[in-house]
Amino acid sequence: MAIYHPNEQPAPAYDSHTHLNDDQLYFDVPAYLGRAHEFQVLEMNVVGYDEVGNERALAIAHEYEGVHAILGFQPEDTPSMTAAAFDQLQEQVKDPVVVAVGETGLDYHWDTDRTIQEKAFRAQLRLAKDRDLPVVIHNREAFDDVYRILKEEQIEKAVIHSFSGTPAQAKAFADLGYYLSFSGVVTFKKAEEVRAAAKVLPLDRILVETDAPYLAPKPNRGKTNEPGWTKFVLDDLAQTLGMSRDELAAQTVQNAHRIFLNHDQN
Ligand SMILES: [Zn+2]
């Protein structure tokens, strides 16, 4: 369905973090991509989290234009990152459709063994460094340890996915040169602090994402999220930052190209 008059087409957008590889979306990828295109979300990163998720991310990125892959083991799935699985990951990230390693990090909300999480986190950070790829960081209730480990491993290229922390934490990450990606969380009524955090950041460090099928933004909160709904994240965040949605869309596309695709534009 054509929603926009051609002259009123919004600026193209880039969903920096989505899971078309998740069971909830994977069996309908063409439909979700079609809807994303209606909303002018023309580029996206499909992010892996375990072996099956990584294989699917690769397959989707190979099949569709504008779709890139990010491969890794999320904290919850690190017990499945055996030596053989890590060997395979090391091979898979050599594929040119892969633009980052992740999502990887620490999650203290669930009770996955923290020693296993940290070992897998450090291994993936070293892999990213070896390949000169950025890392996409999953941090839940673990800021101090995530921040310390990123510094210890001397990571220079990182994206903090679905940033949900304080302005001070945002500033600390930005001071290391990292990018912060904002999800539907920024549209939630109680997320005052997250909106305040967005305001302390340099504009050239901000990305937007859906984390679909999770974290659906207002006005669709609680529904199955999809990449096209990057539109709603942009609407809200643009308002917070006092700029137009198209300006923010263009800025975040440029930022995504710089960090993920090595486009040397400022
Ligand atoms: Zn995710």
C-alpha–C-alpha distance, residues 236 and 186, integer Å: 7
**DSSP states of 98-133:** EEEEEEEEEE-SS---HHHHHHHHHHHHHHHHHHT-
In the reported structure, the alpha carbon of residue 76 is separated from the centroid of ligand 1 by a whole-number distance in angstroms of 11
Q: How confident is the model at residue 6 (pLDDT cuts 50, 70, 90)?
A: low
Q: What is the pLDDT of residues 179-218, one digit of tens each?
A: 999 999 999 999 999 999 999 999 999 999 999 999 999 9
In the reported structure, the alpha carbon of residue 17 is separated from the centroid of ligand 1 by a whole-number distance in angstroms of 6
The 8-class DSSP code of residue 1 comes to -
In the reported structure, the alpha carbon of residue 238 is separated from the centroid of ligand 1 by a whole-number distance in angstroms of 22
CA 182 remoteness from chain centre = 8
Q: What is the pLDDT of residues 7-43, one digit of tens each?
A: 568 899 999 999 999 999 999 999 999 999 999 999 9
pTM listed for this prediction: 0.95
> Is the predicted pLDDT of residue 61 greater than 50, yes or no?
yes
> Is the predicted pLDDT of residue 262 greater than 90, yes or no?
no
> Is the predicted pLDDT of residue 1 greater than 50, yes or no?
no
In the reported structure, the alpha carbon of residue 5 is separated from the centroid of ligand 1 by a whole-number distance in angstroms of 33
In the reported structure, the alpha carbon of residue 37 is separated from the centroid of ligand 1 by a whole-number distance in angstroms of 21
pLDDT for the residue 180 = 98
C-alpha–C-alpha distance, residues 252 and 204, integer Å: 8
In the reported structure, the alpha carbon of residue 214 is separated from the centroid of ligand 1 by a whole-number distance in angstroms of 8
In the reported structure, the alpha carbon of residue 7 is separated from the centroid of ligand 1 by a whole-number distance in angstroms of 34
pLDDT > 70: percent of the chain: 96
In the reported structure, the alpha carbon of residue 215 is separated from the centroid of ligand 1 by a whole-number distance in angstroms of 10
In the reported structure, the alpha carbon of residue 28 is separated from the centroid of ligand 1 by a whole-number distance in angstroms of 18
